[in-house]
Homo-oligomer: A and B are copies of this chain.
Amino acid sequence: MTRLQNDLFLRACKREPIERTPIWIMRQAGRYLPEYRAVRAKSDFLTMCKTPDLVAEVTLQPIDIIKTDAAILFSDILVIPEAMGMHLEMHEGRGPIFPEPIRNEDDFKKLKTIDPFVELKYVMDSIKVTKDELDGRVPLIGFSGSPWTLLTYMVEGSGSKTFARVKELIYNNPKLAHQLLDKIADTVADYLNAKIESGVNAVQIFDTWGGILTPSDFNEFSLDYMTKIISKLNKENIPVIMFAKGVHHSIDKMADCGANVLGLDWTMDLGKMREQVGHKVALQGNMDPTILYGSKVRIKTEVQSVLKSFGEGSGHIFNLGHGILPDIKPDHAKALVQFVKEESVVYHK
């Protein structure tokens, strides 16, 4: 195993002493980079996800160009339902579509039990190529959607404003919803364990749609399954990050679910959250992604404000409160990374 030249991210996850605050950016391998768009222009999105050389290329772009402290393996959360047998189409402008969504017991029975080293072998191959090319420069993060977030896509079949279908399911057939979530949770746990075995240094679970649920539904239909996954991970020395957007009401419970790090969106007060749960977990986030529309001067002020809010000591991984937006200037992302590196030193004396 290559020794990591920059392990600030991993040490911050474990709340060990560091010299400055590490930063990476959700969706850092993405459309805001012209270098990414150049790769994407030659290949459709799913082919990119399934071609290890292309995965490695776009995963490394932000490390070379904007110089973040961690890489995150380029992929999509929907590779899991696809591997379970659901036909997935990616439509430009309309987002992902499952033409045959899951709506009843028969649909559920059609979902395959998978071996991630077989059906998702291309992901494991991608990890190996990416690790080789990274050559120990920074740690590599692997990710998955949460069972609840995957279920919303699998049931809705396409983007939704109201989530009518998946809400109908949990209200009118909670038993089936739980069967589905349980199967997805087992699949995600196997998938993340395979990623760990293949060499990722940390994993992040994204619960993009946890925030559409009431507090009690979130606990029943989302958090319980993320907790189950974490309990099944072979996570010796592999930090687990849980990011549940819009879930301001269950921070204490999330801090107790076994994750090492909680990701926070930009509506949360980082300082208050550190006070509340920072003795249990590290915190990741949480600059408003739209601040990058502002001037560099404004970005710098906001970086200072986020760093000040967390305060002195380890346990903070700087990030945006949600993915970087596709129309952000790469120059502003570069400036953000540089500001965090410079401005955070004083908090780690």
Contact = CB atoms under 8 A, between A and B. Distances in A.
Interface in A245-259: 246-249
Interface in A265-282: 266-269
A322 to B, nearest CB: 10
A130 to B, nearest CB: 29
A135 interface: no
Contacts of A217: 288
A325 interface: yes
Interface string A8-48: 00000000000000000000000000000000000000000
Nearest to A325: B162
Contact of A267 (B214, B295, B298, B325): B214
A294 interface: yes
Given A295-B172, A298-B171, A267 B163 contact: no
B267 A172 contact: no
Given A267-B215, A288-B214, A327-B164, A293 B249 contact: no
B293 A167 contact: yes
Q: Count identical subunits in the complex.
A: 2
Contacts of A249: 248, 267-269
A330 interface: no
A172 B214 contact: no
A215 B268 CA distance: 7
Contacts of A267: 211, 213-215, 246-249
A335 interface: no
A291 interface: yes
Contacts of A234: none
